C-alpha cells in the first residue's frame, strides 16, 4: 500500500498489510483498516482533514447520521466504518435533510475556505446570497477556464437578480450531496459522507441531489414542497458542480455546463 496507508494504520493502531481500498475516492485516497478489536475504520486522505472533521461534527450536531470522527491529523481523517447495503430510504433522507436545513446560521458561507482538488470554494461570509453564489461560487470557479466560459458566467449577475432570492433562509448545507455521498442500510439513511459544508440556500443541496439522477418521489413527501420558481433556480444551482466537474475531469462536462448556461439564457 501507500505511504498514506502506513500513516493511517499507525494512527489507527492497525496492520497496513490488511488495508483495502474503497471504491470511489476520485480526489482523495480512501481505505478500510481492520482494528485490533476486530472492527473496522475508514481512513481518508485530504488537504484539510481537520476542516472536514469539523463539518462532519456540525452535521452530526444537526441530527444528521454521519461517521464518527476518530482522529484528524497528519493528512489522515480516521472515521468509524458505517455498514451500508445500498438499499435506499428516500423518506428517511427527506426528513433528516429537512431537519438539518432547518438549522440556521448568521450569514452565508463558512469560517474557512475549502477545496475540491484544485478548485477552491471561497467561503467568505456575507449577507448577500446572490453575490455569494455568483461571485464566490461561479465566477471564482470559472476564472481559470477563461474565455467564453468566464464571459458567460460574468453575464449572470443581472439574471440572478431576477431568479435568485436575495436573502433565503441561512441553512446548513452538506455542499456535495450526490448519490455517492449517501450511505443506505435497510431502507434507511445510514450516513452522509464527504461534506463540503457551508451556510446557504437549502435548494443548493437539492440541485446537487438531482445532478446525476433523481431521488424517489417519496423524498419530497417528507422533505416538503419547494417554493415557486425552483425550476429556474435549480439550473443556477446545478451550474456550480457542473463547473467543478469541467475543471477537475475535463471537456466531457462541457456539454452539461453549456446546457445549463443556455437554460439561464447567457
Distance (Å, whole) CA 253 – CA 4: 30
Catalytic residue among 92, 176, 194, 205: 176
Beta partners for residue 216, in sequence order: none
Determine contact, residues 135/150, Cβ cutoff 8 Å. Answer: no
Catalytic residue flag (residue 162): no
- Beta carbons of 29 and 2 less than 8 angstroms apart: yes
Q: Give the DSSP letter string of 194-261.
A: S---EEE-THHHHHHHTTSS---THHHHHH-PPPTTHHHHHHHHHHHHHHHHHHHH-GGGHHHHHHHH
> Which residues lie across from 182 on neighbouring strands?
192
Local structure of 24: helix, strand or coil: coil
Residue 182: which region, alpha, beta or left (left: phi > 0; alpha: psi -120 to 50)? beta
CA distances (Å), origin 137, targets 34, 184, 264: 39, 30, 16
- Name the residues annotated as catalytic: 176
Amino acid at each position: 500500500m501507500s505511504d498514506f496507508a502506513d500513516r493511517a494504520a499507525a494512527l489507527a493502531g492497525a496492520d497496513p498489510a490488511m488495508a483495502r481500498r474503497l471504491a470511489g475516492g476520485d480526489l482523495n485516497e480512501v481505505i478500510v483498516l481492520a482494528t485490533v478489536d476486530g472492527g473496522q475504520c475508514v481512513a481518508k486522505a485530504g488537504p484539510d482533514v481537520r476542516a472536514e472533521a469539523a463539518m462532519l461534527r456540525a452535521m452530526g450536531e444537526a441530527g444528521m447520521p454521519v461517521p464518527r470522527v476518530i482522529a484528524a491529523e497528519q493528512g489522515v481523517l480516521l472515521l468509524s466504518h458505517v455498514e451500508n447495503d445500498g438499499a435506499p430510504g428516500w423518506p428517511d433522507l427527506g426528513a433528516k435533510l429537512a431537519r438539518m436545513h432547518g438549522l440556521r446560521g448568521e450569514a452565508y458561507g463558512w469560517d474557512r475556505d475549502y477545496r475540491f482538488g484544485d478548485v477552491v470554494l471561497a467561503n467568505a461570509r456575507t449577507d448577500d446570497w446572490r453575490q455569494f453564489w455568483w461571485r464566490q461560487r461561479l465566477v471564482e470557479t470559472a476564472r481559470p477556464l477563461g474565455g467564453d466560459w468566464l464571459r458567460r458566467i460574468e453575464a449572470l449577475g443581472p439574471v440572478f437578480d431576477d431568479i435568485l432570492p436575495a436573502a433565503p433562509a441561512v441553512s446548513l448545507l452538506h455542499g456535495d450531496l450526490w448519490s455517492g455521498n449517501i450511505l443506505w442500510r435497510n431502507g434507511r439513511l445510514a450516513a452522509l459522507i464527504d461534506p463540503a459544508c457551508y451556510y446557504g440556500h437549502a435548494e443548493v443541496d437539492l440541485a446537487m441531489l438531482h445532478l446525476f439522477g433523481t431521488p424517489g418521489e417519496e423524498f419530497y413527501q417528507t422533505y416538503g414542497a419547494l417554493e415557486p420558481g425552483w425550476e429556474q433556480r435549480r439550473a443556477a444551482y446545478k451550474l456550480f458542480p457542473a463547473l467543478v466537474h469541467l475543471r477537475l475531469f475535463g471537456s466531457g462536462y462541457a456539454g452539461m455546463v453549456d446546457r445549463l448556461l443556455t437554460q439561464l439564457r447567457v
